[in-house]
A and B are shown apart, each in its own frame.
Chain A
Amino acid sequence: MTSRVCLAVICLTVLTGRLAAQADSNRIRLSARGTSDAQPGILVLSGVGLDSVRAIIQRDLTYSDRFFVPPIPDSIATLHGQLNPTLYQDTGAAWLVELEPAIHGVDVKLYDARTGALRNQATVAAPLDGIKDDRLAIHRISDQIVGWTGGVGIAATRIAFVMGLKQVWRIDSDGANLVRVSPADDLAMSPAWSPDGSLLAYSVYRDAVWTLYVQKLAGGAPMRVPNSSAGSDYGPAFSPDGRTLAFAHGAEKGSDIEVADLVKMCCAHRLTFSGALADNVTPTYSPDGNRIAFMSTRSGTPELYVMDNDGTDTHQLVSSAFDANDKALPSYTPSWSPDNAQVVFGRDTQAGGAGRRLFSVMIRSGQVVERSNSGQNEDPSFAPDSRHVVFKSRRSGREQLWILDLESGATRQLPTPGVAQVPAWSRTLGPNP
C-alpha cells in the first residue's frame, strides 16, 4: 500500500478513534503501514481560529511536491489544547506541524512524527486573515517548514506574466492575488523580477517602440532603462546582484544583447555584434552572474549560446537538433537554474514550429534531457528551489501557465482568466516586496 493510501486510512481512523484514544491517554493506533516510498507525509494541525492559515499552508506544502499532505477534516486538524505529538507516532506521517496563535503572529512547531520529538520552532509574524498581500506572510511559514526539513520553499513567491497579449500581471505562487502591474492603456511584454523582488522590469509598446522600464512594486513611477541607441528593448534579465539589466535591443538591422547599469542608470552597451545578420534575444544569467545564456539565429536557426558577462568567449550551449529529414529544430527561451545545475529551454521536436517541449541541458555533463511530453510548451522560468519551473503551455486548449516539478514530473496549472505568456518566477520575497 502506498503511503498516500495509508495516510488516508489514518485520517479515517483518527476521525473515529480520536476522542476515545485521548480520553484514556493511550497512544492512538492508526494502522501504521510503514514509511513513505516517495514523499513523506506531513500533518498540519492548528489551534482554534487558524483554519484559513492551515489551509494555505497545507496547499503550499502540497505544491512544494516534497510531501504528501493528507486531507484532514477540520474536526481532526483543529487542536483544543496542547498537542501531544506522541499520539501521532504510528500514523505513517514523517512530520507533524503545530500552529498556534501568538501575539501578532503564529507559533510554528515541527515534530518528527515517528518519535514525537520537537525538531524546530519559531514565532512568525503573520496576520491571521490571509488576504491579499498578507498571504505572503503565511506563505513564509510554509517556506520555513520546508526549510526545516532540508528543502527550499517556493510559497512566498510570485509569478509575473503577460495576460491577454496586453498587460503585465502578477499572481501568487498558489494562484491567488492576481494584480495588474503595467499601465492599463499600453501593451506590455516580457516581465523580469529583480533578485530581491522589489522591482519588476518590463517593456511597454508606445509610439511604435518597445521601451524598457523598471518599476518599484511598492509604488512610484516606472524608471526608463537606458539603451545604446534608438530602437526597441525587451526580454530583460537582472544580474544576480541586481545591478545590471541584460536585454534584447532591436533596431532595423537586427537584435543584439545589451546591458545597462541600473545603479547609475547609464552606460548601456552591446554584448553581441551579430545583429545585422542575426537576432540575439532572451538573456538569462548564471547564478554567479559571470555568464549569460541567450538565443541567437546566427547559425540560421534559433539556437542557444552562452557568453561571459562582458560578451566574450561565446559558444553554443546546446548542440543543434535535427529532425529525420535533417531539418534544424529551433531552441528558444533559456532559463538558468539558481543552483547552476541546468538550463531549461523550449525546443521544437518537429519542423514547422510543432511539438515544442521543455528540455534541460545539464551544466556539468552537457546532457540534454526532455522534461515535458505534451502540448506546446515554452518560456520556462525557474522557481527559487531549482526544481520547479513555470512555463506557458497550450495543453489545456489555450495558452495558460503551468508549473512542472522537474524531480517528480508533477504538473499543475496556474489558472488565469486570460491567455498567459512569458511568465517570470520571482525569488523568495521578503517582508516588504
Chain B
Amino acid sequence: MNRRSLVALSIAMSVAATACHKSAPPATQPTPTPAPATSMAPPPPPAAAPSSAPVIRSEVDPNAAAAAATATMNDRIHFDYNMSDINSADQSRLDLKAGLMKQFPALRILITGNCDERGSDEYNIALGMRRATAAKDYLIRVGIDASRIDVSSLGRQSPIDPGQTDAAYAANRRDEFKIVAGSQSLRGR
C-alpha cells in the first residue's frame, strides 16, 4: 500500500467515526454513535485535508481502515416523503463516497432505493428507483463513471423499521449502498 492510499484510508476512518450510520456492522464502527432516525440528519464534518492526517504505515491496521472505508461507502442517505431530492447533508455523504471511488478505481457499487409503506406498493418500486438514480446522478456529476454504479429498488418491501411512526417512515425512506466489486482494493491488495 502506498502512502497515498494510507492517507485516503485514514480520511475514511476519521469520517466514518463521525458519520457512520447503523448500517455499518457494529464491530467495525469506530464510535457507536446511533443513527438519526430521520432524513434531517446533521451533515457530517468536512473531510480533513490530507496534510492534516499524517499516517505512519505501522499505525494503520489495513483491515480496520478497509472496514472504515466500507462503512463510509455503505452509509445510507435519506429522503423526504414522496421525494427523491438529495439534501445537503447527504450530498456530503455522497462526496465522501465519490472521494473513495476516485481513490480506488476498482470499486463498483449498487445503490438500492427504498420507501416507507405509504403510497402504492408498486409505485414505491418506481419511487425507489428514482431515489437510487438520484444518488447515481449526483456521483456522476462529481466525476464518477456511470458504469461503476448500478441502481435498483426494493420499494417498501425491505423496511428497516416496520413501525408506523414518522421516525420509522423516515428511516425507511433511504438509499442503501453496497460495494459489489473492488472491496479488496480497500485493503491495499
Contacts and interface: CB of A to CB of B under 8 A. Distances in A.
A234 B154 contact: no
A253 B125 CA distance: 13
Contacts of A255: 125-126, 129
Interface string B118-155: 11111101110110010010000000000000111111
Contact of A353 (B110, B119, B129): B119
A232 B121 contact: no
B82 interface: yes
Given A208-B112, A208-B152, A232-B153, A252 B129 contact: yes
Contacts, number: 92
7 contacts: A189-B121, A248-B122, A252-B151, A282-B120, A295-B123, A356-B118, A399-B117
Contacts of A379: 120-121
Interface in A238-260: 248, 250-255
Contacts of A378: 120
Nearest to A233: B125
What is the size category of the interface that chain A forms with chain B? Answer: 35 or more
A302 interface: yes
A302 B123 contact: yes
A107 interface: no
A209 B121 contact: no
Contact of B121 (A210, A250, A422): A422
B18 interface: no
B119 A330 contact: yes
Given A165-B158, A232-B152, A281-B126, 12 more contacts: A189-B125, A205-B157, A232-B153, A234-B125, A248-B125, A248-B126, A250-B126, A252-B136, A282-B120, A332-B119, A346-B120, A379-B121
What is the size category of the interface that chain B forms with chain A? Answer: 20 to 34
Interface of B: 81-82, 110, 112, 117-123, 125-127, 129-130, 133, 136, 150-159, 164
A279 B130 contact: yes
Contact of B122 (A251, A282, A353): A282
B112 A165 contact: no
A157 interface: no
A21 B179 CA distance: 82
Interface of A: 162, 165-166, 187, 189-190, 205, 208-210, 232, 234-235, 248, 250-255, 279, 281-282, 295, 297, 302, 330, 332-333, 346, 352-353, 356, 378-379, 394, 399, 421-422
Contacts of B125: 189, 210, 232, 234-235, 248, 250, 255, 281
Contacts of A302: 119-120, 123
Contacts of A281: 120, 122-123, 125-126
Contacts of B152: 208-209, 232
B157 A165 contact: yes
Contacts of B127: 279
A377 B153 CA distance: 23
B129 A250 contact: yes
B165 to A, nearest CB: 13
B123 A353 contact: no
B26 to A, nearest CB: 25
B154 A235 contact: no
